[in-house]
Amino acid sequence: MVQFLVHEENDNVGVATVDIKSGDVVQGLYMDNQKKIDMTVMHDIPLGHKIALKDIEIDASIIKYGSDIGRVVANIKKGGHVHTQNLKTRRW
């Protein structure tokens, strides 16, 4: 069962399609090519929130839906919750 979606293969985050618990091994689906990805989640991730697909360092960009949506303000590990605690949006 797919628990998160990734819009494009170049994205570095996916979006949870269900509530995900820390320690769960989950499966994601790249929407552009239908490839699947499996990973272990490091934090609880609520429905609709972002999950890091790889380690992402401070000042790197978060790429979602093929677009730069923000700047990382705290290091994020693969499987980590990407949200306001570690992401500054480009919108404001």
Predicted local distance difference test score (pLDDT) of residue 18: 98
pLDDT digits (tens, 9 = 90+) for 20-70: 999 999 999 999 999 999 999 999 999 999 999 999 999 999 999 999 999
DSSP the chain: -EEEEESSTT-SEEEESS-B-TT-EEEEEETTT--EEEEE-SS-B-TT-EEESS-B-TTPEEEETTEEEEEESS-B-TT-EESTTTEEES--
Look at the domain 2-89 and name its fold.
2.30.130
pLDDT digits (tens, 9 = 90+) for 6-21: 999 999 999 999 999 9
Predicted local distance difference test score (pLDDT) of residue 49: 98
- pTM for the full model? 0.94
